[in-house]
Amino acid sequence: MTPQDTSKLRTALVTGAASGIGRAIATALVEAGFRVALLDRDTEALATVAENLPAPNFTLAVDITAAETIDTLGTRLPGEFASLDVLVNAAGHDPGGTTRFDLGNADDWASAIETNLIGTMRLTRSLLPGMVARDRGDIVIIGSIAGIRLVPNMTAYNTSKAGLHAFSDHLRADLADTGIRVIEIMPGLTQTDLIRKRYGGDEARAAAYYARFGLALQPEDIARAVMFALEAPAHATIAQLVILPTNRA
């Protein structure tokens, strides 16, 4: 078998790559022929994902709320990963979710906003200048239907996703005179580790939460949507894509 010419591979970076939607997107990108940099704060899970993906890939255990680290991320990527074609912002966090705002913990809602919104903005800002200099690239932002619809008792999470929705629109406008596309994917209920982590690892409580709704999307559904958007011709941007379980209006 002829060795693969890795010099011609397109390059992607995926946050939240150790589980759920991020892991599914990273896997889909590798299967599509990308070299992928995998970022997550869960060191052990990240290593497991990397072991199950064919090379070349690169892992970096980092919390996207770590400002100094994220601001200098471009200098920490190996040379072959430095010229990004695709940035996928998939990291998500929702501690203390499904709690009325006045009964919740201020540190929990601050943590959700710092990860989901501020971390995404900071990471994008760190890597965007290179894309602008090359005048090409795709920025994928995994938002949520919660960013454009009212969902009670999830105020901090919904606010963070509404912020991502606004960020996506404004960033797209800022970059309108470049070759960079900004793609916002807005899933409905998706079965990931987010709910289990929201409930402190309580598997039974997470299962009961999903059972209330009858149907849930799978991470692979979101990955397919991302690949669909990325495969559009360069002159076309799938600006916003909403994906819902079939039993939800």
Q: Which residues are catalytic?
A: 157
- List phi, psi (to 5°) of 189: -55, 125
Residue 2 per-residue DSSP state: P
3-state secondary structure labels for all residues of 155-180: HHHHHHHHHHHHHHHHHHHHCCCCCE
Do 242 and 186 touch, CB atoms closer than 8 A? yes
Catalogue the E-assigned strands of the chain. 10-15, 34-40, 57-61, 86-89, 137-142, 180-187, 240-243
